[in-house]
């Protein structure tokens, strides 16, 4: 199951452009990296609403069946780290 996590692109401070699949792939690669600094940088670059969506998705990844063990462990790492910042 795929969940859309919105992220934004802004040009000249106003024009919003849709994210590319590369943007989303890079975002999730960093969030699931198990590297505290990468997780922090990726998460802090999101809006409050985007952060809430990411946290909800990470929670699902850590709780729901069907996720690969490594994905589950990465999500749990990110959640533990993010609760402390």
pLDDT tens digits for range 7-63: 454 444 444 555 665 588 899 999 999 999 999 999 999 989 899 999 999 999 999
Query: Is 1 domain-assigned?
Result: no
Q: What does the pLDDT read at residue 5?
A: 46
Q: Which residues make beta-bridge pairs with 10?
A: 16
**H/E run at residue 17:** strand 15-17
Structural domains of the chain, count = 1
Query: Is 30 domain-assigned?
Result: yes
Rounded to whole angstroms, the Cα distance separating 55 from 49 reads: 10
Q: What does the pLDDT read at residue 2?
A: 42
**pTM for this prediction:** 0.74
Rounded to whole angstroms, the Cα distance separating 26 from 35 reads: 14
CB 5 within 8 A of CB 53: yes
25 vs 75, more confident? 75
CB 33 within 8 A of CB 43: no
Domain membership of residue 72 as a residue range: 9-83
Query: Is 59 domain-assigned?
Result: yes
Query: Is 4 domain-assigned?
Result: no
Q: What does the pLDDT read at residue 83?
A: 92
């Amino acid at each position: 199951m795929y969940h859309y996590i919105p992220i934004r692109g802004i040009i000249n401070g106003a024009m919003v452009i849709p994210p590319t699949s590369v943007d989303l792939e890079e975002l999730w690669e960093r969030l699931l990296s198990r590297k505290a600094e990468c997780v922090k940088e990726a998460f802090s670059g999101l809006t409050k609403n985007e952060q809430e969506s990411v946290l909800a998705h990470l929670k699902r990844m850590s709780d729901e069946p069907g996720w690969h063990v490594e994905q589950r462990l990465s999500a749990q790492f990110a959640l533990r780290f993010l609760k402390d910042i």
